[in-house]
Amino acid sequence: MIKKINHIGIAVNSIDQSLKLYTGVLGLSLKEIEVVEEQRTRTAILPVGESSIELLESTDPESPIARYIEKFGEGIHHLALEVDNIDDALKQVAQSGLPLIDETPRKGVENTNIAFLHPKGTGRVLLELVQR
């Protein structure tokens, strides 16, 4: 079911400020910045080998990222796992009894389909399934 780690999502107050560390100090390359209106986020994609780091900035003070930062501060928000078939993966997870945030996939960055598993069933880790 799982092919690889697709990305690690990091919630930040400011992508522009955070890029000073990731590109300036660590030497990563910025692939692109994309706004996902549905999720009310601005996302910077920084490839690292076969995976990437995604910096997530809220575009709305009521968005999930804004609420996360308000509650926990900036930091790792989620771990994304790439799958071949997100519909099959969601069915398998649902059949196991794990709670889902998304019962059907939604649009993600880079033209992907995504769905989140509820952290109550994953050891308090927010897991995202991603299909390219």
The Cα 87–Cα 95 span in angstroms is: 12
Q: Where are the domains of the chain?
A: 2-131
pLDDT, position 46? 98
The Cα 109–Cα 93 span in angstroms is: 23
Enter the pTM of the model. Answer: 0.96
pLDDT, position 49? 97
Residues of the chain with pLDDT under 50: none
pLDDT, position 86? 98
pLDDT, position 127? 98
Check if the beta carbon of residue 7 is closer than 8 Å to that of residue 51. yes
Q: Please give the backbone phi and psi of residue 126, each rounded to the nearest 5 degrees, phi first.
A: -80, 115
* Residue in 129, 126, 130 with CA at minimum distance from that of residue 112: 130
CATH architecture of 2-131: Roll (3.10)
Q: Please give the backbone phi and psi of residue 59, each rounded to the nearest 5 degrees, phi first.
A: -105, 5
pLDDT digits (tens, 9 = 90+) for 90-122: 999 999 999 999 999 999 999 999 999 999 999
